[in-house]
Structure 1
């Protein structure tokens, strides 16, 4: 596959979402967890989304593969995100990002932008992938990279 627009994913309410619907927008794809030390990044992601939502879409993919920090089901996760962070960007269904059952989208993202020392595996919650409006995976951000620093990168690219 040459871009991410060939993929479809499931949102937190069970609806299929074609990533081609986002063609022409920047995408930030993030694996998330509700009980992680990085969970407060939801607030920064929402603030960035509020400022840039005409140009960027943030897609959050809950995952329970790291320290069992996302134990809830899709309904519980959505409720947590709504109540605690009032997110308005799309929340997808809970997935796996590593291993044999990794979501095909994440297999593709990891092959396009490898991690430290060329590894493909996602190391922890809140790893982020920046995708261009043409569907090219441009950059992989570590969990420690805060939304504010990513927004600075975006400002250079989208204006």
Structure 2
């Protein structure tokens, strides 16, 4: 298990992937999806039209978990322009074993998270959530085939609901490449 954890921590370094110029138009946009919030309510992602959106796969027992604080600070500083959406996942090292209620309590108590958090999802594999299938399937999003390689990978969506960037776990909201992507 330690080998798996270490592989996850070092596998993706600071990987960033940007949508190439003149890519094939996406067959879908973010606005085509409905997801469940942590409290079980259906959320139509079209409610984020006109805003940039950052999608994070999160975990409560990961070396990157302190990023919750970084992303909360970013969310507070950019409210109205950029949305941060958290999707807990237990895909990497079993680092998100809790229920939705436990996840919500953990995020609030330890990091004061106010950005929207959603029900736990699979980000890869046979049970992959439809949103993550779109984010990581070139034929659906127009260019990207990167699935999360560990917890706290980021996808950037533009104001039209199109995927524009993928960032690995180590990239934080103050990283130059991320700041460039959200200009």
TM-score normalised according to structure 2 size: 0.79
Q: Deviations over 1:77-99 (max 9, x none)?
A: 00000000011100000010101
Question: Please, which of 47, 63, 88 is the counterpart of residue 114 of structure 2?
Answer: 88
Structure 1 residue ranges without an equivalent (≥5): none
**Structure of higher CA gyration radius:** 2
Q: Alpha-carbon deviation of 1:153?
A: 2.2
Match of 2:62 among 9, 20, 36: 36
- List aligned pairs for 1:1-159, cutoff 5 A: 1-111=27-137, 112=141, 114=144, 120-149=146-175, 152-154=179-181, 157=183
Q: Choose 17-26 or 144-153, whichever is displaced more.
A: 144-153
Question: How much has 1:154 moved relative to structure 2?
Answer: 4.9
Deviations 1:9-32 (A, max 9, x none): 000000000000111111000000
TM-score (norm 1): 0.91
Structure 2 unaligned regions, length at least 5 = 1-26
